[in-house]
């Protein structure tokens, strides 16, 4: 079969890497892809927002399955457009993708489904929101309702910071239309865990639990980012707890969407907090996580294409649930200095070809200059991933891989998965 993958980051490189391992796949096209995906298929220089040209590509190359990586085209209705053209695509419709594109709508679905989540209030005008935060206990979670590229959530540790954040979001419009409405939530205490499932709209198969790191600096300091590291699986999420999460969170959400007349096909991502009172949902996303995908897929021992194709067109109960190889995976994201603020691009990258096996380097913000030299082109540059028999082994190998790569002003956290090493020591 022929597969079209839409996107250009490290998540999409990891997806391409795993898709190419499927015996079902004859050809893979990536739009637009990046230098890392070049050996895996054919990169086509078309942005994820150009639905018309993507449909044309799917028709020209007789694509059997399209896989959408990023959230923006899903929220903009790419699945609806492909469905109208009679093309098979793995992903939720625009209406279903509101589970990520509108946090207030997601809260409505959660509350109707009885899914455990933080208490929240919604505000559309700055003055009302400002008055509300003055009386809220600290810390305060402030969320932009819409898509904000992973930067729409702020944890304010003082009332002054909360007011400043609200002013930036709602008055200065630093996040654009994403903050036309904001959500004020109670702060939940506990370990953050990502649970990603593949669903056909009725059945959902959860993948392994993973943990990602959002803060830019060690010890969870600094600003929020799109994610600068991850590990998988999570020892504190045992099989019994996974059953509970599926029973009380994932399945009720799919059931409620179906009750609303929405058949949700594709990937459902639940960002959870493991509180003393049990798992609570922070947010839902409508696609694979980044950087969680980079540590999940190296452990997946099933055919990803079969899972996605069945979710898109059929009944997941007709195939086996995902199987996993033993061991752990750790991923470290190397970023451009200054990220998530301003940073330089066009900086030459050295050493990627020298990374020792079995470490895998997934490209994100990379490109080639006029003479073919690999250079930086974004804030998150690469995710360096290693699999080991233990989290410690995987962590050591991942950081050995990081040490092999260099570019001016490179930055990375040195404590990815350190919490698990401390527990195990």
DSSP code for 41: S
Quote the tokens at residue 297. 């897929």
Contact status, residue 37 vs residue 16, Cβ threshold 8 Å: yes
Mention every residue, 6+ apart, whose C-beta is less than 8 A from residue 242: 195, 206, 209
At 127 the pLDDT is 94
Q: How far apart are CA 69 and CA 288, in angstroms?
A: 7
The kind and range of the H/E element at 266 are strand 266-275
Residues 348-381 as b or e (16 or more Cβ within 10 Å = b): ebeebeebeeebbbbbbbbbeeeeeebbbbbbbb
Peptide bond into 331 cis (omega under 30): no
CATH code of the domain made up of 328-424: 3.90.600.10
Q: Is residue 212 exposed (0-12), middle (13-18) or buried (19+ Cβ within 10 Å)? A: buried
The C-alpha atoms of residue 152 and residue 139 are separated, in whole angstroms, by 16
Check residue 423 and give its pLDDT. 65
Fold of 125-180: Dna Ligase; domain 1 (3.30.1490)
- Tell me the mean pLDDT per 10 residues along the chain, length 425: 98 98 98 98 98 98 98 97 97 97 95 95 94 92 88 89 95 92 94 98 98 96 92 97 98 98 97 96 96 98 98 96 98 97 97 93 97 97 98 97 97 97 65
Class level of CATH domain 189-318: alpha beta
Other Cβ atoms within 10 Å of 184 Cβ, number: 21
Query: How far is Cα 42 from Cα 262, in angstroms, rounded to an integer?
Result: 34
Give the C-alpha distances (Å, rounded to integers) separating 35 from 335, 336, 381.
17, 17, 11
- Ordered by start, the domain boundaries in the chain are 2-91, 125-180, 189-318, 328-424
For position 117, what pLDDT does the model report? 96
d(CA 34, CA 370): 15
The reported pTM is 0.95
Q: Please give the Cα distance from 295 to 73 (Å, whole number).
A: 24
Query: Can you give 150-217 as a three-state secondary structure string?
Result: CCCEEEECCHHHHHHHHHHHHCCCCCHHHHCCEEEEECCCCEEEEEEEEECCCCEEECCCEEECCEEE
CATH dotted code for 2-91 = 3.40.50.20
- Residue 425's pLDDT is 44
């Amino acid at each position: 079969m022929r597969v079209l993958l839409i996107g250009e980051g490290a998540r999409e490189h990891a997806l391409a890497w795993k898709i190419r391992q499927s015996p079902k796949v004859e050809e893979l096209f990536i739009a637009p892809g990046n230098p890392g995906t070049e050996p895996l298929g054919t990169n086509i220089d078309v942005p994820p927002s150009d639905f018309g040209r993507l449909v044309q590509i799917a028709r020209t190359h007789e694509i059997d399955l399209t896989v959408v990586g990023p959230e923006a085209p899903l929220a903009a209705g790419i699945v609806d457009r492909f469905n109208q053209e009679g093309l098979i695509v793995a992903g939720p419709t625009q209406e279903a993708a509101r589970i990520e594109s509108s946090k207030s709508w997601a809260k409505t679905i959660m509350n109707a489904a009885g899914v455990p989540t933080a208490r929240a209030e919604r505000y559309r005008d700055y003055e009302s929101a400002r008055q509300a935060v003055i009386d809220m206990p600290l810390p305060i979670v402030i969320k932009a309702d819409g898509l904000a590229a992973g930067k729409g959530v702020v944890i304010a540790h003082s009332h002054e910071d909360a007011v400043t954040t609200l002013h930036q979001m709602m008055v200065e419009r630093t996040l654009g239309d994403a903050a036309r409405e904001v959500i004020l939530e109670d702060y939940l205490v506990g370990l953050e865990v990502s649970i990603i499932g593949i669903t056909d709209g009725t059945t959902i198969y959860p993948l392994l639990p993973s943990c990602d790191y959002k803060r830019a600096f060690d010890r969870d300091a600094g600003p929020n980012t799109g994610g600068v590291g991850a590990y998988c699986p999570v020892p504190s999420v045992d099989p019994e707890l996974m059953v509970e999460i599926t029973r009380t969170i994932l399945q009720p959400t799919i059931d409620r969407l179906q009750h609303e007349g929405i058949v949700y096909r594709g990937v459902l991502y639940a960002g959870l907090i493991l509180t003393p009172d049990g798992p609570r949902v922070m947010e839902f996303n409508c696609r694979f996580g980044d950087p969680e995908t980079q540590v999940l897929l190296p452990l997946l021992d099933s055919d990803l294409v079969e899972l996605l194709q069945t979710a898109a067109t059929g009944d997941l109960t007709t195939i086996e649930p995902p199987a996993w190889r033993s061991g752990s995976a750790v991923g470290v994201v190397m970023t451009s200095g200054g990220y998530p603020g301003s940073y330089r691009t066009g900086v030459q990258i050295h050493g990627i070809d020298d990374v020792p096996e079995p470490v895998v380097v997934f490209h994100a913000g990379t490109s080639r200059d006029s003479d073919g030299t690999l250079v930086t082109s974004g804030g998150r540059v690469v995710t360096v991933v290693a699999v080991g028999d233990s989290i410690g082994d995987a962590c050591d190998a991942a950081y050995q891989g990081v040490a092999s790569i260099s570019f001016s002003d490179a930055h990375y956290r040195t404590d990815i998965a350190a919490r698990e090493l401390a527990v195990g020591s």
